[in-house]
Amino acid sequence: MRIEFTKMHGLGNDFVVLDARLRPLPAMDAAFAAAVADRHTGIGCDQLILLEPSDAADFRMRIFNADGSEVEACGNATRAVGLLHGRAARIETLGGLLTSTPSETGISVEMGKPRFDWNAIPLGYAMDTHAMPVAWEELVNPIAVNVGNPHVIFFVSDPYAIDMARIGPMIETDQIFPERVNVNVAAITARDAMILRVWERGAGLTRACGTGACASAIGAMKRGLVDRRVTVSLPGGPLVIEWREDDEIVMSGPATEAFRGSFDPADFGIIA
């Protein structure tokens, strides 16, 4: 059996998109997702995205990290599937109902409302998430925000001076984060501008992270470091994040279709 896919990315955060809305696909599990995502023996991607029919929205988007873990939200992929859809779309995700709308800069997505309580991040025990009294080497005193998925944000002088490949997994898997966490290091450059790098839960260092840009912008706004509309410059490029007065987070930026293809799961050792 051959399965068709669309290879896409948002600022270099890349995806393999499978569409099960027209015909069912083999049951998706962690092994299947990890095999497709493998950059040496599979197609290769940061996340595998599965589109399914939905009773609550235009369609359902399931998100699997490269390690096979299924998660609640993916900002860059939401713009990508919004591009595929070609017009405004309501999208059901594990993190809630999202709305994507084509805009002059690509796609705008209403990403939901941020949550700050320790048990909404979640953390393993009660703690002030606005200024967590914790440190990992030179990364200290972060803020934690849930934007559908969990993020911890450290404000530093130079994100590119941080050895994310070494310290990222240490924080990602720390027991204080029972569902693991996405690790963000950010620097403020103006009241409307930030620089950001992200070590992603289940995917590692990516060129861009949409939910990381949302969480880091909200964290900076909560601390009074930036205004309620900010450009977040990631290694792959910029995203614009606005925290509306109604508490909704709006992320705007590009999405790209790279190529289409098909594969036989048996070729990746997947018994479909």
Alpha-carbon span 87 to 101, nearest angstrom? 6
Task: Give the total of residues touching ligand API (CB under 6 A).
Answer: 19
User: Which of residues 83, 209, 230, 234 is near ligand API by CB under 6 A?
Assistant: 209
* C-alpha separations of 170 from 45, 92, 204, 230 in Å: 22, 32, 11, 29
Q: Which range binds ligand API by CB under 6 A, 37-45, 71-79, 161-169, 261-269? A: 71-79
* C-alpha separations of 212 from 13, 147, 251 in Å: 12, 9, 11
- Toward ligand API, which CB reaches closer, 116 or 272? 116
* C-alpha separations of 29 from 33, 40, 64, 156 in Å: 6, 19, 9, 37
The C-alpha torsion from 81 through 47 and 26 to 180, rounded to 10°, is -120
141 annotated as ligand-binding: no
- Toward ligand API, which CB reaches closer, 23 or 184? 184
Distance in Å, CB of 66 to ligand API, minimum: 9
Kindly report the number of other CB atoms within 10 A of residue 196's CB atom.
24
Question: Of 35, 91, 198, 209, which is the active-site residue?
Answer: 209
User: Which of residues 108, 146, 182, 216 is near ligand API by CB under 6 A?
Assistant: 182
User: Which of residues 7, 60, 201, 207 is near ligand API by CB under 6 A?
Assistant: 201
Tokens of 114: 């941020």
Alpha-carbon span 263 to 8, nearest angstrom? 16
* C-alpha separations of 15 from 79, 133, 176, 192 in Å: 11, 36, 29, 29
211 annotated as ligand-binding: yes
**Would you count residue 74 as binding ligand API (CB under 6 A)?**
yes
**Would you count residue 252 as binding ligand API (CB under 6 A)?**
no
Please answer whether residues 212 and 146 qualify as being in contact, where contact means their C-beta atoms are separated by less than 8 angstroms. no
- Toward ligand API, which CB reaches closer, 13 or 108? 13
User: Which of residues 114, 202, 235, 238 is near ligand API by CB under 6 A?
Assistant: 202
- Toward ligand API, which CB reaches closer, 170 or 190? 170
- Toward ligand API, which CB reaches closer, 76 or 99? 76
Show contacts with ligand API in window 226-245 (CB under 6 A). Answer: none
The question of whether 74 is a catalytic residue gets the answer: yes
Beta carbons within 8 Å of 224's beta carbon, 6+ residues apart: none
Question: Of 74, 152, 183, 234, which is the active-site residue?
Answer: 74
Burial status of residue 265 (CB atoms within 10 A of its CB: 0-12, 13-18, 19 or more): middle
The question of whether 45 is a catalytic residue gets the answer: no
168 annotated as ligand-binding: no
228 annotated as ligand-binding: no
Alpha-carbon torsion 195, 197, 200, 203, what sign?
A: positive
Catalytic residues: 74, 209
Annotated binding site for substrate: 13, 47, 65, 75-76, 149, 182, 200-201, 210-211
Give the interface with ligand API as residue ranges (CB under 6 A).
13, 46-47, 63, 65, 71, 74-76, 149, 182, 200-203, 206, 209-211
